[in-house]
Each structure stands twice: as C-alpha cells, then as structure tokens.
Amino acid sequence: MQKLFLIAGSFFGLLGVMLGAFGAHALEATLEANNRIETFDTAVKYQFYHALALILLGLAMTQFQHRAFVVSGYGFLAGIILFSGSLYALSFSGITKFGMIAPFGGVAFIIGWLAMVWGFAKAV
C-alpha cells in the first residue's frame, strides 16, 4: 500500500500544479466571470494538502506498520476525488449540484486524518 500512496500523492501533486496553472492562466477570466475562482482555488489547495499527506503517509509506512495507515490513505484518496473533484466539476460546468458531493469528500478527509492519528498513536 505504501507504494500506492507514494505514487498517488506524487500524481495528485503533479495534477495540482497542472490544474492550478491551467486555472490561473487559461481559465482565469472564465472562472472569475462565473464567480468560481475561489471554489477552484479551494479544490487545488485541498488536493495539494492531501497529496503531501499521502506522501508523508507512504514514507511513514516504511517505518511503522498499522492497518489504520491503509484506512488513512484510502480516506485521503477518496477525499481528493470526491471533494476536489466535485469542486473542479462545479467550477468547470457551473452545475451547482456537484457541490453536494463535496461534504462526502470532507468526511473522507476527516476519516483519513483520524486514522492517521490512530495509526501513529498505536504504531509509534
């Protein structure tokens, strides 16, 4: 699992840079015109935070073993896809119903962080 989390974290970091640059340069006028720039920025920011968390988690798993770390990694992955993904979809399409998916991603992020806390508390 650690390899999956390291690769996924690196991939989502790369994707965050690409989407951030695309939003700042190619889509800025469109996003500003539709009042979606803050939504888009939030998606990129949370994607980056959790890409770094996945990398940290993957590295920690080389030293510490606990099944909570696997739960944590999947929570972060689900959170990126559901939270950031739904905000990207909302930003690009303007369909506000995508915003209803974001809280599920937020819950996944919370589960990921709680599981990480539990894993470190038990494994260290």
pLDDT band at 64 (very low <50, low <70, confident <90, very high): very high
35, 13, 7: which is closest to 80 by C-alpha?
A: 13
Domain count across the chain: 1
Beta carbons of 105 and 86 less than 8 angstroms apart: yes
Q: How many CB atoms lie within 10 A of CB 18?
A: 11
Say what the pLDDT of residue 28 is. Answer: 74
Give kind and range of the element (H or E) at residue 11: helix 2-21
Kindly state the helix (H) or strand (E) to which residue 66 belongs, with its residue range: none
pLDDT interval class at 120 (50, 70, 90): very high
Sign of CA dihedral 73, 51, 15, 82: positive
Its domain, for residue 115, covers 2-123
pLDDT tens-digit series, residues 6-58? 999 999 999 999 998 887 777 777 777 778 888 889 999 999 999 999 999 99
pLDDT value of residue 21? 87
